[in-house]
Structure 1
Amino acid sequence: MTDDDKLATCYQIIGDTATEISQAYSDFGDLVGYYMGQTSTTMQLRLFRPLALETSLYLLSLLDTTSEIYADILEETKKLAEELEVSSLEESLTAYKQEPDRVTHFVTACQQIVGSDALWLSMRRKDTPPQETISDRGYVVIKRAAEKIEEMVESIST
């Protein structure tokens, strides 16, 4: 596999992961929201970019920092962070690298993104935030995505 193929695979998994997580949390099935124009598509679009940024940070924490792939993804991640007006990119990346359980950190970060979205909050009861249980579909999707990312990193590193 060439470096270009590896890079394309990384970008594909970032996009797929952000899409899957945003879909899982946007399937709220609220008829009132549907009639008011607050459909799951709107929710998905709101959640996608912040989740893509978080997925990129998780992926970067697993990659070899000396590789060209790391440098390319870091450059694009910085651009996305600027667009989203996230100033703590280096702090977030450092937190991932220092965290002994990166998967749990990734799950928590993704759930915080969802749980702090105003539209998601308006469509859900405020007393039922995203939870780290298998009854929370988003949690299951995030855990599965983290495993896929780790497997992909292992496959491109060999």
Structure 2
Amino acid sequence: MTDEDKLAMCYQVIGDTATEISQAYSDFGDLVGYYMGQTSTTLQLRLFRPLALETSLYLLSLFDTTSEFYADILQETEKLAEELEVPFLEERLAAYKQKTDSVSHFITACQQVVGSDALWLSMRRKDTPPQETISDRGYVVIKSAAEKMGEVVKSLK
């Protein structure tokens, strides 16, 4: 596998992860809607880019800063942060590296992205905020995505 293929795999995992998380949280809150596959496309699109940013930060934290992929991914992450007008990118990345449990930090950060979206807040049931339990579908998706990203980084070393 060439270096270009490996970098493409990193971007693919970022996109797939952001898509899966945004899809999990854009499902309508009722059981019938879940089984019928009803989702809010608008909400999914609103959540995608901020979740892609958070996913990129987590992925960067898994790489050594001397990695050949780190600089490329960091550059694209900085562009996205600028477009989204997200400040303190370096501090957010440092927070991942300083945490002893970066997976928990990633879960919390993703849930904060979702929980702060006005459309998500208006669509959800009041008794179902993002939670760190297996009954929260988004939590399960985030946790499994974090494990998958760890495996991708290990395979690139």
TM-score between the two structures when normalised by the length of structure 1 = 0.91
Any unmatched runs of 5+ in structure 2? Answer: 31-38
Structure 2 residue aligned with 1:44: 44
Sequence identity (%) = 83
Structure 1 residue aligned with 2:68: 68
Q: Distance in 2 between matches of 1:153 and 1:117?
A: 30
Structure 2 residue aligned with 1:9: 9
Structure 1 residue aligned with 2:104: 104
Structure 1 residue aligned with 2:81: 81
Shift of 1:124: 1.1
Query: Is the 2:29–2:124 contact (alpha carbons within 8 Å) kept by the matching residues of 1?
Result: no
Shift of 1:28: 1.2
Q: Which amino acid aligns with 1:16?
A: D
**CA root-mean-square deviation:** 1.1
Structure 2 residue aligned with 1:33: none
Q: Distance in 2 between matches of 1:140 and 1:13?
A: 16
Q: Distance in 1 between matches of 2:108 and 2:147?
A: 15
Shift of 1:64: 1.6
Deviations 1:94-139 (A, max 9, x none): 0000000000000000000000000000001344210000000000
Q: Which amino acid aligns with 1:120?
A: W
Q: Distance in 2 between matches of 1:135 and 1:125?
A: 15
Deviations 1:48-75 (A, max 9, x none): 0000000000000001211221000000
Q: Which amino acid aligns with 1:139?
A: Y
Q: Which amino acid aligns with 1:138?
A: G
Aligned partner of residue 68 in structure 1, secondary structure = coil
Structure 2 residue aligned with 1:138: 138
Aligned partner of residue 94 in structure 1, secondary structure = helix
Matched, 1:26 2:26: yes
**Aligned structure 1 segments of 4 or more residues deviating by more than 2 angstroms:** 125-128
